[in-house]
């Protein structure tokens, strides 16, 4: 049974499927081909050990990947196991490009593309408004922050490919019933990589809006708090509850007239200690 490597965005999930595809495949047989211990292979596959660079080539040979598959596999390893964020980011970009070339629309790739560009979600929400016509120039005119024609055209194409946005035969546009949040159940490392790219853009937009948007059309608030460590789950619950209420309110209100960005951040300013501060 052939296992399509390109159907995966997690190299460990591929290895699990590869091992299960044939009865003779096992940690032991794979370790023998790689020239390492069975326990090392097991630890790599389960995620207890990172896949170090010097074991990638033996693993590629052992699984019989061709040259193109080997490049893709190496990129997956970079995404999941590299300690360098920039290398992981670059590798994920290459993975995305390969997936798009092969017309793959996995949940992981969809989330990566949606979360790594702020204007994807903005265009989706704008498409809910009565006057939306799908014309890139008009979209650029409505979305205050500067966008290029190429960015909007690429976003529209991607949103259509993902089934999130479609144009009816009569010309009207339909948005699938999905709300973009960061709570999708996919591998957290892919979400983190996408958010690492997205959040700086959102923060830059927020700062820019202080000059661009009149005070009557915006609301900024922040608080610096000292809290006991055991209270953190309650604060996280409050943040999640607030976002759920915001989303619920937006779905039951009237027609979409404006698109807003709402962000709530909760993160420590202090380093973790093991004893009394």
Token pair 């809910």: residue:
128
Coil/strand/helix, residue 203: helix
Q: What is the pTM of this model?
A: 0.55
Dig out the tokens for 208 from the structure: 């820019």
Judge whether residue 117 has pLDDT over 60.
yes
Mean pLDDT of 132-161: 87
CA distance readout (Å), 261 to 143, 206, 258: 12, 9, 10
Task: Out of 31-45, 100-114, 217-231, 238-252, pick the least confident.
Answer: 100-114
Q: What percent of the chain has pLDDT over 90?
A: 30
Q: What percent of the chain has pLDDT over 70?
A: 85
- Return the closest-CA partner of residue 73 out of 58, 60, 88: 60
Mean pLDDT of 148-170: 85
All structural domains of the chain with their residue ranges: 5-103, 114-252
165 pairs with which residues across the strands? 175
Strands (DSSP E) found in the chain: 165-167, 173-175
Higher pLDDT, 260 or 253: 260
Rg for the chain, CA atoms, rounded: 23
Higher pLDDT, 175 or 251: 175
- Specify the pLDDT at position 104: 44
């Amino acid at each position: 049974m052939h296992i399509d490597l390109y159907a995966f965005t997690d190299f460990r999930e591929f290895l699990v499927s590869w091992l299960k595809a044939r009865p003779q495949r096992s940690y032991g047989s794979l370790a023998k081909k790689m020239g390492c211990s069975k326990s090392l292979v097991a630890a790599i596959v389960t995620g207890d050990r990172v896949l170090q660079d010097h074991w990638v080539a033996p693993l590629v040979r052992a699984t019989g990947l061709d040259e193109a598959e080997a490049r893709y596999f190496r990129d997956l390893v970079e995404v999941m196991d590299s300690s360098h964020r920039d290398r992981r980011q670059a590798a994920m970009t290459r993975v995305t490009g390969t997936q798009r070339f092969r017309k793959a629309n996995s949940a992981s790739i969809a989330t990566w593309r949606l979360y790594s560009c702020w204007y994807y979600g903005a265009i989706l929400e704008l498409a809910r408004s009565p006057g939306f016509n799908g014309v890139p120039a008009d979209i650029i005119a409505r979305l205050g922050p500067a966008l290029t024609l190429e960015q909007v055209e690429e976003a529209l194409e991607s949103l259509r490919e993902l089934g999130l946005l479609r144009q009816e035969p009569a010309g009207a546009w339909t948005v699938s019933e999905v709300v973009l949040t960061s709570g999708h159940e996919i591998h957290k490392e892919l979400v983190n990589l996408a958010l690492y790219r997205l959040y700086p853009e959102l923060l830059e937009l927020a700062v820019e809006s202080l000059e661009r948007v009149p005070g009557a059309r915006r609301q900024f608030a922040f608080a610096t708090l000292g809290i006991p460590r055991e209270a953190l789950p309650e604060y996280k619950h409050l943040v999640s509850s607030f976002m759920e209420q915001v989303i619920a309110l937006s779905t039951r209100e009237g027609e979409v007239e404006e698109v807003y960005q709402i962000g709530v951040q909760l993160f420590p300013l202090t380093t973790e200690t093991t004893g009394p501060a």
